[in-house]
Structure 1
């Protein structure tokens, strides 16, 4: 990571751990709790695997999540400032899904008042999970390539609206509990074994297609993803899953064969802030066409 630019991201993107380490990205965690527990920090007190195993063993214990607070963001900014950082790029989950963008923005204002030698840009990713991760990987690559701070910010703000984030769920109860679908829809979906393919559009969840059967839903998700790509040469792809790695394997293999895609495919656990509403067995794919970003 460039010493000139510090990159800070909330944990909702579920960035692969190796990307965080390689690019020295500071991750600010979301909080979550179960019915009879205190709040935990994502990826600090609990791993994604532990989180989903708990959900599988305790299906009625639907978790609650909370965004990073202003002090969390200030702590991350101060930590990197004392190490020499002066230019900060901060990314968050869609502001329509969480207050993370708002708390990061408040922290930015406080931090800028305390330090007159810094630049801080908070970017609303307008998405989350695998789409957010792909966008953040593109940012990390731009920083690594030596692009200027303002150029990176301008390019990312232009690219935010073109990120593709598609996902499928294995059980509708968590989307019902989170208010994403109504009770009647959930009941009928369970009877018919409907596995909806959903997308984040303009920062909010939208069902794209109702599909019967798990493999059909995964295939439909991948076909939709493939149909969105116009330039395969500089594509950033992230596949995420919630404890069902065989489904992620299927998605990766399908993309390789159906699109003859031989490029890098990043993989990671689906983060808890999305997983709390999608449940174990959720899987998704995020796409960013990086040519306009990295040229």
Structure 2
């Protein structure tokens, strides 16, 4: 069986990974100061960073079902017998709903997966599904392994302000921190598909140290079935700090750690200076 993998642009997948694994990415839309653009290589994080610095209005919208249908038709024309379409948390966006609507008209079966997470946790999941499909696993096996990895994944974020999350309605339980946000550096995590508070730390350096410690703790308590991990340090206009954290984690865990920028859409909701760590266990074969 030839299984194609589709995701959306919030997965923050670097171009080389998308190309290497043949993953089709459906872009979300951004509206900056009244100008609508489709997220992509030409309209990316730099564009949003500039807008955030200028403090102009930014909003985002999910892809229309027709965008997913085109992706599914493209995959079918390329020889796919089935499609796995994995997307950012349905609790944060209607993207998965658009994918489900398109799936009803797809020329081949589409299995839409709500990742219940964001960023490179979604990206790593899409890559793992593509690898499993390339190894000849059937669609049920690929889906089972994908769900197992997603259930054990973690995403933690250090944001400098909760204002962007509040404006976009993606704040979840972290709204409880709004009253004291000026006095702390909120460390957040994604839990049950929502952005929730994890800890409150007084300084950015201590918050980054907590991100490091929590990641090491997770690594030391991987599921029995795990055969390593995929880790990415993600950021919005905080490259030096992100690279420093990635080097520290790589040394501490003796494993490769990717450094990537969060997608333009995610960046618009979390704001400048955000640093996050995504960890997804691998399945030992």
User: Which residue of the other structure, out of 75, 82, 106, is the alignment partner of 1:87?
Assistant: 82
What secondary structure, in the 3-state scheme, does the structure 2 residue paired with 1:196 have? strand
Shift of 1:80: 1.9
Pairing of 1:193-232 with structure 2 (within 5 A): 194-229=184-219, 230-231=221-222
Shift of 1:225: 1.8
Q: 2:143 matched to which residue of 1?
A: 153
Pairing of 1:131-150 with structure 2 (within 5 A): 131-150=121-140
Find out whether 1:13 has 2:5 as its counterpart. no
**Alpha-carbon spacing, 1:250–1:168, altered in 2? closer, same or farther (3 Å):** same
Q: Is the 8 A contact 1:16 1:267 kept in 2?
A: no
Pairing of 1:67-216 with structure 2 (within 5 A): 67-111=62-106, 115=107, 118-179=108-169, 180=171, 182=175, 185-186=177-178, 188-190=180-182, 192=183, 194-216=184-206
User: Which residue of the other structure, out of 268, 278, 282, is the alignment partner of 1:286?
Assistant: 278
Shift of 1:138: 2.1
Gaps of 5+ in 2: none
Shift of 1:122: 0.8
Shift of 1:22: 0.5
Distance 2:101 2:162 in 1: 35
Q: 2:30 matched to which residue of 1?
A: 32
Q: Is the 8 A contact 2:5 2:130 kept in 1?
A: yes
What secondary structure, in the 3-state scheme, does the structure 2 residue paired with 1:110 have? coil
Q: Which moved more, 1:12-21 or 1:227-236?
A: 227-236
What secondary structure, in the 3-state scheme, does the structure 2 residue paired with 1:210 have? strand
Distance 2:34 2:165 in 1: 21
Distance 2:25 2:147 in 1: 20
Distance 2:52 2:59 in 1: 12
The Cα offsets for residues 191-236 of structure 1, whole Å up to 9 and x where unpaired, read as x2x2111000000010100111111111112211221222484211
TM-score (norm 2): 0.90
Q: 2:258 matched to which residue of 1?
A: 266
Find out whether 1:248 has 2:258 as its counterpart. no
Distance 2:128 2:257 in 1: 13
What secondary structure, in the 3-state scheme, does the structure 1 residue paired with 2:188 have? strand
Flag as ranges the 4+ runs of structure 1 deviating above 6 A. none
Q: Is the 8 A contact 1:62 1:174 kept in 2?
A: no
How many residues align? The count is 278
Q: Is the 8 A contact 2:153 2:278 kept in 1?
A: yes
Q: Is the 8 A contact 2:26 2:63 kept in 1?
A: yes
Distance 2:23 2:131 in 1: 12
**Alpha-carbon spacing, 1:136–1:73, altered in 2? closer, same or farther (3 Å):** same
